[in-house]
Amino acid sequence: MNAIGVDLGGHKVVAGLVDGDVIRDRLEESTEGSRKPGPVIAQIARMVRALGAGPEVPTGVCVPGGIDAARENALMITNFMGWNGLPVRRMLAEAIGGCTVIENDANAYALGEGLAGAAKGVDDYVVLTLGTGIGGGVVSGGRLLTGAHGMGGELGHIVLGQEEPCGPGCGGLGHFEALCGADALERRAGAMGLGSRPDLRDLWTRREDPAVAPLWDFALSAIARGIASLIHVFDPELVVIGGGLSRGADFMELLEARVPRYLGGAFRKTLSIRLSLLDTDAPIFGAAGLARARMENFK
């Protein structure tokens, strides 16, 4: 069955018509400028219709933030004003006119890697995305972990540091993202005298420069500690790494080499880390897969 997956981001909306392991057709637009619920939902509905959706093609929409346990209402959509508390799934379903589901974007990313990417066929895996934010999702026993309130699997907010403030959408201290999100690493680079507007890609190419190496020593060790903690909690078959940092030359090899020292002995031989296969398409596959599953359950 075909299904449509939509990835709503702060800067762009991507919609794809998914058929098995391939995206048959896709549309990409800048996110409607006001980012208000009415205009953005209208934009999504228009894009879905343009992909040829009818009542027989279900749609999954992933949103950049938290949603409730029932997958009906927005709890905290980062950088979008006026969405919190709204029945976003029902509003989308009414605008689109068919079976519609919503999911958090990082969870959809994780599901997508399991459906068509690096974790295909794996029932126990963790996905970690290293970008401006740090996101991820946990699939355990073939099911996405969502927790009692719908907020489970917030891997970017495990506490690896001390009192470093996390972003305005969070407000906690010492979180993984507050240490190793791209913004945090750029701030750290600035404080190390590596330029007033440091570029992480450039700094990665200079990673053996003695002035730059401590930045990456810090980041790789922190990320490795995070991965080791996740392995101890979830005992996954596989850890999939995505996001901008993961695409740096040799990044995965250098990261994987750091992890074993933080693992308990019995876990060391279980370590398996893979690069995301789908990258930014992963949420499209995940959202479409959820929509397809919902439709099949109602048949």
Residues that bind Zn ion (CB under 5 A): 157, 166, 170, 172, 175
Nearer of residues 154 and 186 to Zn ion, judged by Cβ: 154
Angle between helices 105-116 and 282-297 (to 10 degrees): 80
Find the shortest distance in angstroms from Cβ 66 to Zn ion: 12
Find the shortest distance in angstroms from Cβ 131 to Zn ion: 14
- Among positive and negative, which fits the CA dihedral 153, 105, 286, 129? negative
Nearer of residues 96 and 179 to Zn ion, judged by Cβ: 179
Find the shortest distance in angstroms from Cβ 198 to Zn ion: 22
DSSP state letters, 143-168: EE---SSS----GGGSB-SSS-B--T
Nearer of residues 57 and 166 to Zn ion, judged by Cβ: 166
Find the shortest distance in angstroms from Cβ 156 to Zn ion: 7
Nearer of residues 17 and 184 to Zn ion, judged by Cβ: 184
φ, ψ of residue 298 to 5 degrees: the values are: -90, -5
CA dihedral 281, 96, 146, 243 (to 10 degrees): 20
From the centroid of its chain, how far is CA 225? 19
Find the shortest distance in angstroms from Cβ 184 to Zn ion: 11
Place of tokens 């998914």: 18
The residue of the chain with the least Cβ separation from Zn ion equals: 166
Contact 55, 97 (CB under 8 A): yes
Nearer of residues 76 and 170 to Zn ion, judged by Cβ: 170
